Amino acid sequence: MLYSLAVTVALVLSAPVWGWRMLRQGRYRQGLQQRLGDVPLRLRDFVRDRPVLWLHAVSVGETLAATRLIAELEAALPGYAVVISTTTPTGQQVARERFGVDRVFFYPLDLAFAVRPYLRALQPKLVILMESELWPRMLVECERAGVPVAVVNARVSDRSLPRYMRLRVLWKPLLGKLSLLLAQSDEDARRWRSIGAPAERVLSTGNLKYDIRAANETPLTVLVRKHLPADARVLVCGSTHDGEESLLLDCWKSLSQNRVMILAPRHPERTAAVEHLARERGLTATPLSQWRLAAATTAPGAVLLVDTVGELSSLYALATIAFVGGSLIPHGGQNPLEPASFGVPVVMGPSYANFRGMVDAMVQAHAIRMVAREDLCVSLEQLLTTHDEELGERGRLFAASMTGATDRTVAALVQLLERGAR
Protein backbone atom coordinates (compact mmCIF):
# COMPACT_ATOMS: atom_id res chain seq x y z
CA MET A 1 0.00 0.00 0.00
CA LEU A 2 2.71 2.48 1.02
CA TYR A 3 4.81 1.46 -2.01
CA SER A 4 1.90 2.05 -4.44
CA LEU A 5 1.16 5.40 -2.79
CA ALA A 6 4.81 6.44 -3.07
CA VAL A 7 4.96 5.48 -6.76
CA THR A 8 1.71 7.34 -7.48
CA VAL A 9 2.97 10.48 -5.72
CA ALA A 10 6.26 10.26 -7.65
CA LEU A 11 4.36 9.98 -10.94
CA VAL A 12 2.20 13.00 -10.11
CA LEU A 13 5.17 15.12 -9.04
CA SER A 14 7.19 14.16 -12.13
CA ALA A 15 4.26 14.60 -14.54
CA PRO A 16 5.34 18.11 -15.70
CA VAL A 17 8.83 16.82 -16.54
CA TRP A 18 7.53 13.79 -18.46
CA GLY A 19 4.89 15.92 -20.18
CA TRP A 20 7.55 18.32 -21.41
CA ARG A 21 9.76 15.47 -22.59
CA MET A 22 6.85 13.86 -24.44
CA LEU A 23 6.21 17.11 -26.27
CA ARG A 24 9.89 17.55 -27.16
CA GLN A 25 10.99 13.94 -27.74
CA GLY A 26 8.80 11.35 -29.41
CA ARG A 27 10.53 8.40 -27.74
CA TYR A 28 8.98 9.37 -24.38
CA ARG A 29 5.50 9.00 -25.89
CA GLN A 30 6.12 5.46 -27.10
CA GLY A 31 3.96 2.84 -25.47
CA LEU A 32 2.35 5.19 -22.95
CA GLN A 33 -1.08 3.54 -23.22
CA GLN A 34 0.45 0.09 -22.81
CA ARG A 35 2.45 1.24 -19.78
CA LEU A 36 -0.83 2.44 -18.22
CA GLY A 37 -2.46 -0.99 -18.57
CA ASP A 38 -4.05 -0.88 -22.04
CA VAL A 39 -3.42 -4.41 -23.38
CA PRO A 40 -3.00 -4.31 -27.20
CA LEU A 41 -5.60 -6.22 -29.21
CA ARG A 42 -2.87 -7.87 -31.29
CA LEU A 43 -1.37 -9.28 -28.09
CA ARG A 44 -4.74 -10.66 -26.98
CA ASP A 45 -5.13 -12.32 -30.39
CA PHE A 46 -1.62 -13.80 -30.23
CA VAL A 47 -2.23 -15.62 -26.94
CA ARG A 48 -5.83 -16.66 -27.53
CA ASP A 49 -6.51 -20.27 -26.43
CA ARG A 50 -2.83 -20.93 -25.64
CA PRO A 51 -0.89 -21.21 -22.37
CA VAL A 52 1.37 -18.18 -21.96
CA LEU A 53 4.91 -17.49 -20.77
CA TRP A 54 5.54 -13.79 -20.12
CA LEU A 55 9.21 -12.81 -20.40
CA HIS A 56 10.38 -9.33 -19.43
CA ALA A 57 13.65 -7.88 -20.76
CA VAL A 58 14.48 -4.30 -19.84
CA SER A 59 16.47 -3.14 -22.84
CA VAL A 60 18.64 -4.23 -25.75
CA GLY A 61 21.19 -6.34 -23.86
CA GLU A 62 18.57 -8.36 -22.04
CA THR A 63 16.52 -8.77 -25.22
CA LEU A 64 19.51 -10.13 -27.12
CA ALA A 65 20.34 -12.46 -24.23
CA ALA A 66 16.74 -13.72 -24.26
CA THR A 67 16.68 -14.52 -27.99
CA ARG A 68 18.05 -18.05 -27.80
CA LEU A 69 16.24 -18.69 -24.50
CA ILE A 70 12.90 -17.94 -26.16
CA ALA A 71 13.68 -20.21 -29.11
CA GLU A 72 14.66 -23.05 -26.77
CA LEU A 73 11.58 -22.56 -24.59
CA GLU A 74 9.35 -22.75 -27.66
CA ALA A 75 11.08 -25.95 -28.72
CA ALA A 76 10.75 -27.48 -25.25
CA LEU A 77 7.15 -26.32 -24.74
CA PRO A 78 5.32 -26.60 -28.07
CA GLY A 79 1.92 -24.97 -27.96
CA TYR A 80 2.96 -22.26 -25.52
CA ALA A 81 2.83 -18.60 -26.52
CA VAL A 82 5.89 -16.66 -25.36
CA VAL A 83 5.25 -12.91 -25.09
CA ILE A 84 7.94 -10.32 -24.49
CA SER A 85 7.81 -6.98 -22.68
CA THR A 86 10.53 -4.33 -22.58
CA THR A 87 11.00 -1.08 -20.70
CA THR A 88 13.05 1.01 -23.12
CA PRO A 89 12.15 2.08 -26.68
CA THR A 90 15.42 0.64 -28.01
CA GLY A 91 14.66 -2.69 -26.35
CA GLN A 92 11.19 -2.56 -27.89
CA GLN A 93 12.67 -1.93 -31.34
CA VAL A 94 15.05 -4.89 -31.14
CA ALA A 95 12.36 -7.19 -29.70
CA ARG A 96 9.96 -6.34 -32.52
CA GLU A 97 12.66 -6.95 -35.12
CA ARG A 98 13.50 -10.35 -33.61
CA PHE A 99 10.13 -11.66 -32.49
CA GLY A 100 7.54 -9.74 -34.52
CA VAL A 101 5.15 -7.00 -33.43
CA ASP A 102 2.22 -9.14 -32.29
CA ARG A 103 3.77 -10.52 -29.10
CA VAL A 104 5.94 -7.59 -28.02
CA PHE A 105 4.70 -4.81 -25.72
CA PHE A 106 5.84 -2.21 -23.21
CA TYR A 107 6.10 -3.30 -19.58
CA PRO A 108 3.35 -1.74 -17.44
CA LEU A 109 4.02 0.74 -14.67
CA ASP A 110 4.48 -0.99 -11.34
CA LEU A 111 1.01 -0.08 -10.11
CA ALA A 112 -1.96 -2.38 -9.58
CA PHE A 113 -4.20 -0.64 -12.13
CA ALA A 114 -1.51 -1.11 -14.83
CA VAL A 115 -0.32 -4.63 -13.94
CA ARG A 116 -3.65 -6.35 -13.34
CA PRO A 117 -5.08 -5.95 -16.88
CA TYR A 118 -2.06 -7.81 -18.29
CA LEU A 119 -2.33 -10.64 -15.78
CA ARG A 120 -6.06 -10.97 -16.54
CA ALA A 121 -5.58 -10.86 -20.32
CA LEU A 122 -2.52 -13.12 -20.52
CA GLN A 123 -3.17 -15.46 -17.58
CA PRO A 124 0.49 -16.52 -17.75
CA LYS A 125 1.59 -19.91 -16.51
CA LEU A 126 4.93 -18.31 -15.63
CA VAL A 127 6.44 -14.81 -15.54
CA ILE A 128 10.16 -14.75 -16.38
CA LEU A 129 12.19 -11.68 -15.39
CA MET A 130 15.63 -11.09 -16.91
CA GLU A 131 18.56 -10.27 -14.60
CA SER A 132 17.39 -8.14 -11.63
CA GLU A 133 14.07 -6.64 -12.67
CA LEU A 134 12.28 -7.08 -9.35
CA TRP A 135 9.24 -4.80 -9.25
CA PRO A 136 7.34 -5.08 -5.94
CA ARG A 137 3.80 -4.56 -7.25
CA MET A 138 4.30 -7.09 -10.05
CA LEU A 139 5.52 -9.68 -7.54
CA VAL A 140 2.57 -9.01 -5.22
CA GLU A 141 0.01 -9.21 -8.02
CA CYS A 142 1.53 -12.42 -9.41
CA GLU A 143 1.40 -13.98 -5.95
CA ARG A 144 -2.26 -12.99 -5.57
CA ALA A 145 -3.07 -14.44 -9.00
CA GLY A 146 -1.18 -17.66 -8.28
CA VAL A 147 1.34 -17.01 -11.07
CA PRO A 148 4.89 -18.28 -10.38
CA VAL A 149 7.74 -15.85 -11.05
CA ALA A 150 11.28 -16.84 -12.04
CA VAL A 151 14.28 -14.55 -12.37
CA VAL A 152 16.82 -15.76 -14.92
CA ASN A 153 20.37 -14.58 -15.61
CA ALA A 154 20.25 -12.93 -12.19
CA ARG A 155 23.28 -11.02 -10.98
CA VAL A 156 24.35 -8.66 -8.21
CA SER A 157 27.11 -6.24 -9.18
CA ASP A 158 29.84 -5.12 -6.80
CA ARG A 159 28.25 -1.67 -6.79
CA SER A 160 24.72 -2.92 -6.07
CA LEU A 161 25.53 -5.41 -3.30
CA PRO A 162 26.01 -2.86 -0.47
CA ARG A 163 22.71 -1.18 -1.37
CA TYR A 164 20.87 -4.50 -1.39
CA MET A 165 22.37 -5.46 1.96
CA ARG A 166 21.42 -2.15 3.59
CA LEU A 167 17.80 -2.74 2.53
CA ARG A 168 17.84 -6.48 3.20
CA VAL A 169 14.82 -6.18 5.52
CA LEU A 170 12.80 -4.95 2.51
CA TRP A 171 14.29 -7.27 -0.11
CA LYS A 172 13.92 -10.51 1.83
CA PRO A 173 10.07 -10.64 1.72
CA LEU A 174 10.08 -9.71 -1.98
CA LEU A 175 12.62 -12.39 -2.85
CA GLY A 176 10.47 -14.85 -0.91
CA LYS A 177 7.74 -14.34 -3.52
CA LEU A 178 9.95 -15.81 -6.25
CA SER A 179 9.50 -19.44 -7.22
CA LEU A 180 12.97 -19.68 -8.76
CA LEU A 181 16.09 -17.53 -9.07
CA LEU A 182 18.69 -18.64 -11.63
CA ALA A 183 21.99 -16.84 -11.08
CA GLN A 184 24.76 -16.09 -13.57
CA SER A 185 27.48 -17.56 -11.35
CA ASP A 186 28.11 -19.28 -8.04
CA GLU A 187 29.15 -15.91 -6.58
CA ASP A 188 25.91 -14.27 -7.76
CA ALA A 189 23.93 -17.15 -6.24
CA ARG A 190 25.76 -16.68 -2.93
CA ARG A 191 25.01 -12.96 -2.98
CA TRP A 192 21.30 -13.46 -3.65
CA ARG A 193 21.08 -15.91 -0.75
CA SER A 194 22.84 -13.42 1.53
CA ILE A 195 20.33 -10.72 0.52
CA GLY A 196 17.47 -12.99 1.52
CA ALA A 197 16.45 -15.25 -1.36
CA PRO A 198 15.35 -18.71 -0.11
CA ALA A 199 18.43 -20.89 -0.54
CA GLU A 200 16.51 -23.86 -1.97
CA ARG A 201 15.10 -21.69 -4.80
CA VAL A 202 18.46 -20.30 -5.96
CA LEU A 203 20.48 -22.13 -8.62
CA SER A 204 23.61 -21.18 -10.54
CA THR A 205 22.96 -21.85 -14.24
CA GLY A 206 25.44 -19.54 -15.99
CA ASN A 207 25.20 -16.38 -18.04
CA LEU A 208 22.80 -16.43 -21.01
CA LYS A 209 24.87 -13.76 -22.73
CA TYR A 210 27.69 -16.27 -23.06
CA ASP A 211 25.48 -18.25 -25.44
CA ILE A 212 24.96 -15.32 -27.80
CA ARG A 213 26.67 -16.11 -31.09
CA ALA A 214 26.04 -13.50 -33.73
CA ALA A 215 26.14 -14.41 -37.40
CA ASN A 216 29.47 -13.51 -38.98
CA GLU A 217 27.77 -12.95 -42.33
CA THR A 218 24.83 -10.54 -42.47
CA PRO A 219 23.80 -8.20 -45.31
CA LEU A 220 25.53 -5.38 -43.42
CA THR A 221 28.82 -7.19 -42.79
CA VAL A 222 28.94 -8.31 -46.42
CA LEU A 223 28.38 -4.71 -47.55
CA VAL A 224 31.01 -3.24 -45.24
CA ARG A 225 33.60 -5.93 -46.06
CA LYS A 226 33.07 -5.32 -49.78
CA HIS A 227 33.90 -1.63 -49.37
CA LEU A 228 36.92 -1.86 -47.10
CA PRO A 229 40.25 -0.72 -48.57
CA ALA A 230 42.47 -3.56 -49.74
CA ASP A 231 44.35 -5.20 -46.84
CA ALA A 232 42.90 -2.71 -44.37
CA ARG A 233 43.11 -3.47 -40.67
CA VAL A 234 39.83 -2.86 -38.83
CA LEU A 235 39.41 -1.64 -35.27
CA VAL A 236 35.89 -2.19 -33.90
CA CYS A 237 35.16 -0.18 -30.75
CA GLY A 238 31.97 -1.52 -29.18
CA SER A 239 29.55 -0.02 -26.65
CA THR A 240 31.66 3.05 -25.95
CA HIS A 241 30.66 5.71 -23.43
CA ASP A 242 31.12 9.44 -23.06
CA GLY A 243 34.75 10.05 -22.16
CA GLU A 244 36.04 7.04 -24.10
CA GLU A 245 35.44 8.16 -27.68
CA SER A 246 37.76 11.16 -27.33
CA LEU A 247 40.57 8.88 -26.12
CA LEU A 248 39.99 6.39 -28.93
CA LEU A 249 39.81 9.09 -31.59
CA ASP A 250 43.01 10.70 -30.29
CA CYS A 251 44.72 7.32 -30.67
CA TRP A 252 43.19 6.81 -34.09
CA LYS A 253 44.55 10.10 -35.35
CA SER A 254 48.07 9.01 -34.43
CA LEU A 255 47.87 5.54 -36.01
CA SER A 256 49.12 4.76 -39.53
CA GLN A 257 46.52 5.15 -42.19
CA ASN A 258 45.61 1.84 -43.87
CA ARG A 259 43.01 1.20 -41.18
CA VAL A 260 39.29 1.67 -40.70
CA MET A 261 37.53 2.23 -37.39
CA ILE A 262 33.99 1.04 -36.71
CA LEU A 263 32.82 2.83 -33.57
CA ALA A 264 29.54 1.94 -31.84
CA PRO A 265 28.44 4.24 -28.99
CA ARG A 266 26.55 2.35 -26.29
CA HIS A 267 23.69 4.81 -26.78
CA PRO A 268 23.07 5.48 -30.50
CA GLU A 269 21.50 8.87 -29.76
CA ARG A 270 25.05 10.06 -28.97
CA THR A 271 26.16 9.49 -32.58
CA ALA A 272 26.02 13.18 -33.54
CA ALA A 273 28.15 14.14 -30.54
CA VAL A 274 30.75 11.48 -31.41
CA GLU A 275 30.74 12.58 -35.06
CA HIS A 276 31.51 16.11 -33.84
CA LEU A 277 34.43 14.79 -31.75
CA ALA A 278 35.87 13.07 -34.82
CA ARG A 279 35.56 16.14 -37.02
CA GLU A 280 37.24 18.29 -34.36
CA ARG A 281 40.25 16.01 -34.84
CA GLY A 282 40.15 16.26 -38.62
CA LEU A 283 38.84 12.71 -39.04
CA THR A 284 36.23 11.59 -41.55
CA ALA A 285 33.30 10.09 -39.64
CA THR A 286 30.07 8.85 -41.20
CA PRO A 287 26.99 7.35 -39.52
CA LEU A 288 26.50 3.81 -40.80
CA SER A 289 22.82 4.37 -41.62
CA GLN A 290 23.86 7.23 -43.90
CA TRP A 291 26.83 5.41 -45.45
CA ARG A 292 24.85 2.30 -46.39
CA LEU A 293 22.41 4.36 -48.51
CA ALA A 294 25.18 5.02 -51.02
CA ALA A 295 27.97 2.69 -49.97
CA ALA A 296 31.39 3.57 -51.32
CA THR A 297 34.88 2.32 -50.53
CA THR A 298 35.87 3.67 -47.15
CA ALA A 299 38.97 5.82 -47.17
CA PRO A 300 41.94 4.67 -45.09
CA GLY A 301 41.65 6.22 -41.64
CA ALA A 302 37.88 6.65 -41.92
CA VAL A 303 35.50 6.17 -39.01
CA LEU A 304 32.11 4.47 -39.45
CA LEU A 305 29.71 5.26 -36.61
CA VAL A 306 27.18 2.56 -35.74
CA ASP A 307 23.96 4.48 -35.13
CA THR A 308 21.63 1.47 -35.26
CA VAL A 309 20.65 -1.06 -32.61
CA GLY A 310 21.43 -4.78 -32.61
CA GLU A 311 24.12 -4.86 -35.32
CA LEU A 312 27.32 -4.48 -33.31
CA SER A 313 27.65 -8.18 -32.47
CA SER A 314 27.95 -9.18 -36.14
CA LEU A 315 30.23 -6.25 -36.98
CA TYR A 316 32.78 -7.65 -34.52
CA ALA A 317 33.39 -10.39 -37.11
CA LEU A 318 35.07 -7.78 -39.34
CA ALA A 319 37.57 -6.74 -36.70
CA THR A 320 41.31 -7.17 -36.73
CA ILE A 321 41.08 -6.24 -33.06
CA ALA A 322 38.19 -5.11 -30.86
CA PHE A 323 38.00 -2.64 -28.00
CA VAL A 324 35.18 -3.26 -25.50
CA GLY A 325 33.77 -0.05 -24.06
CA GLY A 326 32.59 1.05 -20.66
CA SER A 327 36.03 0.02 -19.40
CA LEU A 328 38.12 3.20 -19.59
CA ILE A 329 35.69 5.08 -17.34
CA PRO A 330 34.14 3.94 -14.03
CA HIS A 331 31.21 2.16 -15.69
CA GLY A 332 32.07 -1.52 -15.22
CA GLY A 333 32.59 -2.63 -18.81
CA GLN A 334 30.56 -4.46 -21.43
CA ASN A 335 30.63 -8.07 -22.63
CA PRO A 336 34.02 -9.10 -24.12
CA LEU A 337 32.80 -12.54 -25.20
CA GLU A 338 30.96 -11.12 -28.22
CA PRO A 339 34.15 -10.26 -30.15
CA ALA A 340 36.13 -13.10 -28.55
CA SER A 341 33.71 -15.67 -29.98
CA PHE A 342 34.90 -14.70 -33.49
CA GLY A 343 38.54 -15.26 -32.59
CA VAL A 344 39.14 -11.50 -32.54
CA PRO A 345 41.82 -10.24 -30.11
CA VAL A 346 40.04 -8.19 -27.43
CA VAL A 347 41.31 -5.07 -25.66
CA MET A 348 39.63 -3.82 -22.48
CA GLY A 349 40.30 -1.11 -19.91
CA PRO A 350 40.61 -1.48 -16.12
CA SER A 351 36.92 -0.99 -15.27
CA TYR A 352 35.12 -4.32 -15.62
CA ALA A 353 33.09 -4.85 -12.43
CA ASN A 354 30.00 -5.81 -14.46
CA PHE A 355 31.87 -8.84 -15.84
CA ARG A 356 34.45 -9.38 -13.12
CA GLY A 357 34.35 -13.17 -12.91
CA MET A 358 34.52 -13.64 -16.66
CA VAL A 359 37.26 -11.07 -17.29
CA ASP A 360 39.40 -12.39 -14.43
CA ALA A 361 39.10 -15.87 -15.95
CA MET A 362 40.00 -14.52 -19.40
CA VAL A 363 43.06 -12.81 -17.95
CA GLN A 364 44.14 -16.08 -16.33
CA ALA A 365 43.69 -17.84 -19.68
CA HIS A 366 45.67 -15.11 -21.49
CA ALA A 367 42.56 -14.59 -23.63
CA ILE A 368 42.26 -10.79 -23.39
CA ARG A 369 44.57 -7.75 -23.37
CA MET A 370 43.95 -5.42 -20.43
CA VAL A 371 45.20 -1.84 -20.86
CA ALA A 372 45.45 1.30 -18.76
CA ARG A 373 44.29 4.60 -20.28
CA GLU A 374 47.87 5.77 -20.75
CA ASP A 375 48.81 2.58 -22.63
CA LEU A 376 45.79 2.51 -24.94
CA CYS A 377 47.38 3.97 -28.07
CA VAL A 378 50.50 1.81 -27.86
CA SER A 379 48.46 -1.38 -27.36
CA LEU A 380 46.12 -0.62 -30.26
CA GLU A 381 49.05 0.15 -32.56
CA GLN A 382 50.85 -3.04 -31.54
CA LEU A 383 47.85 -5.32 -32.05
CA LEU A 384 46.81 -3.70 -35.33
CA THR A 385 50.35 -4.18 -36.62
CA THR A 386 51.00 -7.72 -35.39
CA HIS A 387 47.42 -9.11 -35.40
CA ASP A 388 48.00 -11.52 -32.50
CA GLU A 389 46.21 -14.63 -33.79
CA GLU A 390 47.15 -16.66 -30.70
CA LEU A 391 45.42 -14.12 -28.44
CA GLY A 392 42.34 -14.28 -30.67
CA GLU A 393 42.31 -18.08 -30.67
CA ARG A 394 42.60 -18.25 -26.88
CA GLY A 395 39.66 -15.87 -26.66
CA ARG A 396 37.60 -18.01 -29.05
CA LEU A 397 38.30 -21.18 -27.07
CA PHE A 398 37.44 -19.41 -23.82
CA ALA A 399 34.13 -18.17 -25.26
CA ALA A 400 33.27 -21.67 -26.44
CA SER A 401 33.98 -23.09 -22.98
CA MET A 402 31.48 -20.72 -21.34
CA THR A 403 28.37 -21.83 -23.24
CA GLY A 404 25.50 -23.97 -21.94
CA ALA A 405 23.57 -21.55 -19.73
CA THR A 406 20.54 -21.56 -22.02
CA ASP A 407 20.10 -25.33 -21.84
CA ARG A 408 20.40 -25.32 -18.04
CA THR A 409 17.97 -22.40 -17.73
CA VAL A 410 15.35 -24.03 -19.95
CA ALA A 411 15.61 -27.30 -18.02
CA ALA A 412 15.04 -25.49 -14.71
CA LEU A 413 12.06 -23.51 -16.04
CA VAL A 414 10.40 -26.58 -17.58
CA GLN A 415 10.86 -28.44 -14.29
CA LEU A 416 9.22 -25.52 -12.45
CA LEU A 417 6.24 -25.62 -14.80
CA GLU A 418 5.93 -29.38 -14.41
CA ARG A 419 5.94 -29.06 -10.61
CA GLY A 420 3.14 -26.52 -10.85
CA ALA A 421 1.09 -28.81 -13.10
CA ARG A 422 1.18 -31.68 -10.60
Would you please indicate which residues are annotated as catalytic (active-site) residues?
62
What's the sign of the alpha-carbon dihedral 408, 391, 377, 217?
negative
Q: Cα–Cα distance between 80 and 63 in angstroms, integer?
A: 19
Tell me the angle at which helices 376-386 and 245-254 cross, rounded to the nearest 10 degrees.
50
Q: Are residues 185 and 204 in contact, defined by beta-carbon separation less than 8 angstroms?
A: yes
Strand partners, 180: 150
Q: Are residues 305 and 288 in contact, defined by beta-carbon separation less than 8 angstroms?
A: yes
281's CB contacts (< 8 A; 6+ apart) are 249, 250, 252, 253
Q: Are residues 239 and 312 in contact, defined by beta-carbon separation less than 8 angstroms?
A: yes
Helices (H) then strands (E): counts for the chain: 20, 14
Q: Cα–Cα distance between 157 and 167 in angstroms, integer?
A: 15
Strand partners, 322: 236, 346
Q: Which is nearest to 297 in space by CA: 308, 307, 286?
A: 286
Q: Cα–Cα distance between 102 and 105 in angstroms, integer?
A: 8
- Within 10 A of 9 (CB to CB), how many other CB atoms are there? 10
End-to-end CA distance of the chain: 33
Query: What are the respective helix, strand and coil percentages of the chain, to the nearest 5?
Result: 55, 15, 30
CA atoms within 13 A on the CB side of 187: 10
At residue 403, the 3 state secondary structure works out as coil
